[in-house]
Structure 1
Amino acid sequence: MGRAVHGQIFRHAFEVDVFVQNGLVALYAKCGEIEKARAVFDRLYGRTIVSWTSIISGYAQNGQPVEALRIFSEMRKLDMKPDWIALVSVIKAYSDVEDLEQGKSVHSYVIKVGLELECDLLIALTAMYAKSGGILFAKLLFDQIEMPNVILWNAMISGYAKNGNADEAIELFRRMILKNGRPDSITVRSAIIACAQIGSLDLARWMYNYINRSEYRNDILVNTALIDMYAKCGSVDCARSVFERTSNKDVVLWSAMIVGYGLHGRGHEAIDLFHKMKQAGMEPNDVTFVGLLLACNHSGLVEEGWEYFHCMRRDHGIEPRHQHYACVVDLLGRAGYLDKAFNFIMKMPMEPGITVWGALLSACKNYRNVPLGEYAAEHVFSLDPYNAGHYVQLSNLYASVRRWDGVSKVRVLMREKGLSKDLGYSLIEISGKLQAFRVGDKSHPRSKEIFEEMESLERRLKEAGFIPNTDSVLHDLNSEDKEVTLCNHSERLAIAFGLISTPPGTALRITKNLRACVNCHSATKLITKLVEREIVVRDANRFHHFKDGFCSCGDYW
């Protein structure tokens, strides 16, 4: 139809009419025919602000922000003053290229020309700040708008979620509902992502119940997000129930469920689901194989993982990405095949990145291979010199073989770079609220009771024959000091608080920011047997389900 109109314009000699030609530029741009819009624009004489605005908006709306900004720069050189419509598109373009500084310059211009109260500009600026990490500026602008539309709610909720402010995202989502706002699919998916970040199973269930009563119950994108949320909140079984109830499953939904099993180290279930996926006629994608490799990695299924990696290209025509190579290095390294992992790295068709060398360094620490660990550390430090975690890994390696000179050398390196070890903390969910604990934390109002429970637990552990693994402490301390240090780890405090705060038999759910240490892992297994409780721990790498003296990881993590 648009081409037919264009033909009529040409036939009736309107090709020199600026008003008509501006309409054509806008028409082609809105139909996604940006090259045709550009051809009309380039032939246009006597361009007006409408002409420039139409082409700039066209490029911005069609996913070409760099070209939109280049044309805007041309327009400014001609001393053309942009109107608010052009500025909306320019702000969007700067948001898309994540150039917050230039976006701020446009904001200054908006204020200078007195357009700061223009509703569409407020929305665009709020979205830009929220997306680019300037969440405080975004909130200041958001609060000026009396009746935010769904686009603005989405900008703020997703902005909070993407910038690590998950609690604020959920609070804003609840506020939207209370104000009778109508969330769309983007809104609820952003809220679900925030729930997954928080890790509260009670909150996840609230979110699920809300979705179940809404028009998005059968939305495949929403259900995919719910599967991911439940898996990250510790209940892969709830994730599976969402998966089973979803009709018309696509590859993204299947992959989300396989990745969920991977997070929980349920390798055989992941493999079984993969076979069902193929039987259903669904072709896997690269994310499917990330989940499979993760599941094999966390379950010690080395041969299976090795085979799945090689069948990607051979059977499915999928070129492995860096993440797949990193999974294989981790898979081999965790199983003790350090030489095979190293040779695999040397044959990679791409430059090994930080995750590949980091996986090898971690494996070297676990198996006390100092020469190879030092080689891996050199590459890690050159790629990511200001991440304290990598230096701690090398320090751990030296400490495990009592190379205290090496530990001292790493500490000097860290001090020179102004780095300090990340402090461990654990969160425990009690009655839907998260409580945080750090190593040796005595700040809690119930601290006296917590430490009394800790002492009781330590007595019972010793009576049951538990011997602390003091090798997991990084300092050259005497044995008694080491035991005290280990007893005060944040997850032990969280467990003690959980035991005094919940009825007998209640499962405890804990999130830890670092990888669980060997000592706490062993102690938690025995604690579940002594207190007859299930304890679910999400550490930096995966989930551990402790019950009756065993862990779901099979001591393989």
Structure 2
Amino acid sequence: MNNAPHHCLSLLTNCITLKTLKQIHASLVKTGHHSDPFFAGKLILHCAVTVSDSLHYARRLLHHFQNPDVFMYNTLIRGFLESGIPENSIFTFIDMRRKSTVPPDSFSFAFVLKAAANYGSLRAGLQLHCQALIHGLDTHLFVGTTLISLYGECGSVYFAKKVFDQMREPNVVAWNAVITSCFRCGDIKGARKMFDMMPFKNSTSSNVMLAGYAKSGEMELARNVFWEMKVKDDVSWSTMIVGFAHNGWFDEAFGYFRQLLMVGLRPNEVSLTGVLSGCSQAGAVEFGKILHGFIEKSGVNWITTVNNALVDMYARCGNVGMARLVFRSMPYKSVVSWTSMIEGLAMHGHAEEAILVFHEMEGCGIRPDWITFVSLLYACSHAGLIEQGSSLFSRMKDVYDIEPKVEHYGCMVDLYGRAGFLQKAYDFLCQMPITPNAIIWRTLLGACSIHGNVELAEQVKARLFELEPDDSSDNILLSNIYAVAGKWKEVATVRRSMADQKIKKVPGWSMIEVDRTMYRFVAGEKSNEATAEAYKKLKEIMLRLRVEGGYVPEVASVLHDIDEEEKEDLVSKHSEKLAVAFGISRLCKGKIIRIVKNLRICRDCHTVMKLISKVYELKLVVRDRSRFHSFEDGSCSCKDYW
């Protein structure tokens, strides 16, 4: 009988459900060992940290124990910290101070300060700092380092540096923490200064600099640090690859991945997902296929995050068929996997299939999250499925108890607005329980542009001016609406206002992959050999479209009161036309031409792509700012609803 409690502890090792844990607890109660601090502490630890969805039971165990010790409180604080509800860690710490005579230790402060950092509460952090001072633990190396991280997370580099300066003998971890805090607060020069002052550095210190520069968009500075490093580990390479991909330096991301292989290092999960992300953003499907082959040969195709990145890459590169194939062959599918597949189908206009995949997901017992519903509502809005979208919006809250976020409301406004129900979209927006942001108002302005509603557009633009007066896209949209309506005086007023405020239009660009090299085209630029080649081919294409396809330029939205010939010249030089012309010039017959564009495709370009697909018997895939357009035999997958 004396061995019973120890047997219960051995059972805890393999316990993964709350039901089993309660049975073990019952056994300890029968033997009277549930009141032993050692056994009770082990039970609370397992309940709070190991078994999912059992924090409430851990809290009950703690409250029913007569004199809980600091370990028990620390365990519950840690459990809440790791659960995604860090504010409960702070409440548990407060409860400990009020009800317990046991003083907090360094672990108490380390856990609760990290919780305050995750919660982003500077006020709670300052109060906890005072408590650490009272208990003489503010100079403790572990606590001090966590305080530095806390202030960095909360945007106070001044306090972070002050805590660091008061540390007697900061170790390399503390130095790294203060450098990270500088980066988080946007103090890039301060981070470099601290890095140069370090009496000793390790590889983590250099990796902190790489990550900080990459997140700040300072890739040249990151590159300098990287090549100064004597030892470059897999974290260093991964940070550079992810940094380049995140900042749009796609060729550099691919180049560094190749170099990683050349130096004999094995790509890890982060570097693989990072380079696949670069392929996704750039539309580099050929390089993505090579990576897919490498993943299969390397035997890492069991890693869920890598498979998720593959699904996303194929979907965003316009090959939804391969995205389906990877998805169906995955040994394990997380909620991210299902959501990635739904999002991929949505981008390609396969809304009905996206909804079917969602129902399959439910049937497999996978609980959707708020991002899943964003993807579903997006699918419905881009396919005009108003009833299904409204039903899913209600289902999200009624069935899954997911409180709608601003993204969901934005999708609903887009759903109604895109379908032409502008007043309904406006009423929905005005009745939102949360304050609509500029993105939602801009969504409605875009719908006004599609349907030519000048009056509502002016109202919406006035709201946008209050929120983001310097945004060029709003002025461009309003100018577009005025131009279509022939209100050139109003167009001139908007453009003059933009000039006075020094607001510049975001230049449109398009990219195409040829022989695993990315080519970027910007309208009006003639700076290189590829662009000159594209212009020459485009002239030939446009002439053939007029003769064989009956092409007539759609110039209604050109934002200038100029003659028709000049308008035709302007629309003929849009970046996606240049990219397609270059693709026709360079790619062999039978190849699918894939284009990535940073702005919404215009109506004239959309018409041209349909005609090219018919006249040249080609398949074109264009990814614009919001969706995919697959052109084949004179028609588009969007059914002219985009």
Secondary structure of the 2:596 match is strand
Q: How does 1:251-400 map to 2 (within 5 A)?
A: 251-400=335-484
Q: How does 1:388-537 map to 2 (within 5 A)?
A: 388-445=472-529, 450-463=534-547, 464-537=549-622
Secondary structure of the 2:399 match is helix
Whether the aligned pair in 2 keeps the contact of 1:56 and 1:90 (CA below 8 Å) is no
Whether the aligned pair in 1 keeps the contact of 2:147 and 2:163 (CA below 8 Å) is no
Distance 1:28 1:381, change over 3 A: closer
Distance 1:519 1:68, change over 3 A: closer
- CA RMSD of superposed structures (Å): 3.3
Structure 2 CA distance, aligned partners of 1:434 and 1:120?
A: 33
Structure 2 CA distance, aligned partners of 1:485 and 1:76?
A: 58
Q: Is 1:158–2:242 an aligned residue pair?
A: yes
Please name the residue that 1:14 is paired with: none
Structure 2 CA distance, aligned partners of 1:389 and 1:172?
A: 35
Shift of 1:362: 0.8
- Report which stretch shifted further, 546-555 or 115-124: 115-124
Aligned length in residues: 534
Please name the residue that 1:189 is paired with: 273
Shift of 1:218: 0.8
Distance 1:56 1:135, change over 3 A: farther
Shift of 1:289: 0.9
Unaligned stretches of 5+ residues in structure 1: 10-23
Structure 1 CA distance, aligned partners of 2:338 and 2:583?
A: 35
Please name the residue that 1:228 is paired with: 312
Please name the residue that 1:213 is paired with: 297
Counterpart selection for 2:221 from 113, 137, 146? 137
Distance 1:499 1:413, change over 3 A: same
**Aligned residue type for 2:170:** P
- Report which stretch shifted further, 318-327 or 302-311: 302-311
Please name the residue that 2:185 is paired with: 99
Question: How many percent identity over aligned positions?
Answer: 34
Secondary structure of the 2:312 match is helix
Whether the aligned pair in 2 keeps the contact of 1:25 and 1:38 (CA below 8 Å) is no
Shift of 1:529: 0.8
Please name the residue that 2:74 is paired with: none
Whether the aligned pair in 2 keeps the contact of 1:56 and 1:71 (CA below 8 Å) is no
Please name the residue that 1:85 is paired with: 173
Secondary structure of the 1:420 match is coil
**Aligned residue type for 2:414:** D
Q: TM-score, normalised by structure 1?
A: 0.87
Shift of 1:372: 0.5
**Aligned residue type for 2:255:** E
**Aligned residue type for 1:128:** G
Q: Is 1:148–2:148 an aligned residue pair?
A: no
Secondary structure of the 2:520 match is strand
Structure 1 CA distance, aligned partners of 2:367 and 2:70?
A: 47
Structure 1 CA distance, aligned partners of 2:569 and 2:500?
A: 30
**Aligned residue type for 1:269:** E
Please name the residue that 2:639 is paired with: 554
**Aligned residue type for 2:592:** A
**Aligned residue type for 1:482:** K
Structure 2 CA distance, aligned partners of 1:516 and 1:8?
A: 62
Please name the residue that 2:18 is paired with: none
Distance 1:429 1:156, change over 3 A: closer
Shift of 1:308: 1.3
Shift of 1:325: 0.8
Secondary structure of the 1:503 match is coil
- Report which stretch shifted further, 488-497 or 525-534: 488-497
Q: How does 1:4-83 map to 2 (within 5 A)?
A: 25=106, 52-58=140-146, 65-66=153-154, 75=163, 78=166, 80=168, 82-83=170-171
Distance 1:190 1:30, change over 3 A: farther
Whether the aligned pair in 1 keeps the contact of 2:283 and 2:595 (CA below 8 Å) is no
Structure 2 CA distance, aligned partners of 1:141 and 1:459?
A: 52
Shift of 1:332: 1.0
Shift of 1:466: 2.6
Whether the aligned pair in 2 keeps the contact of 1:126 and 1:142 (CA below 8 Å) is yes
- Report which stretch shifted further, 310-319 or 526-535: 310-319
**Aligned residue type for 1:176:** L
1:174-228: CA deviations, max 9, x gaps?
2222112233222222222222122111111122122222242111111112111
- Report which stretch shifted further, 310-319 or 356-365: 310-319
Distance 1:448 1:93, change over 3 A: closer
Please name the residue that 2:283 is paired with: 199
Whether the aligned pair in 1 keeps the contact of 2:257 and 2:275 (CA below 8 Å) is yes
Shift of 1:418: 0.7
Distance 1:230 1:527, change over 3 A: same
Secondary structure of the 1:472 match is coil
Q: Is 1:541–2:626 an aligned residue pair?
A: yes
Structure 2 CA distance, aligned partners of 1:365 and 1:254?
A: 34
Whether the aligned pair in 2 keeps the contact of 1:34 and 1:59 (CA below 8 Å) is no
Please name the residue that 2:101 is paired with: none
Structure 1 CA distance, aligned partners of 2:160 and 2:214?
A: 23
- Report which stretch shifted further, 118-127 or 61-70: 61-70
- Report which stretch shifted further, 456-465 or 208-217: 456-465
Please name the residue that 2:66 is paired with: none
Structure 2 CA distance, aligned partners of 1:448 and 1:189?
A: 35
**Aligned residue type for 2:145:** S
Please name the residue that 1:244 is paired with: 328
- Report which stretch shifted further, 327-336 or 60-69: 60-69
1:263-303: CA deviations, max 9, x gaps?
11111111111111112222211111111111111112222
Whether the aligned pair in 2 keeps the contact of 1:329 and 1:359 (CA below 8 Å) is yes
Whether the aligned pair in 1 keeps the contact of 2:283 and 2:512 (CA below 8 Å) is no
Structure 2 CA distance, aligned partners of 1:8 and 1:380?
A: 53
Structure 2 CA distance, aligned partners of 1:449 and 1:76?
A: 58
Q: TM-score, normalised by structure 2?
A: 0.76
Secondary structure of the 1:546 match is strand
**Aligned residue type for 2:262:** L
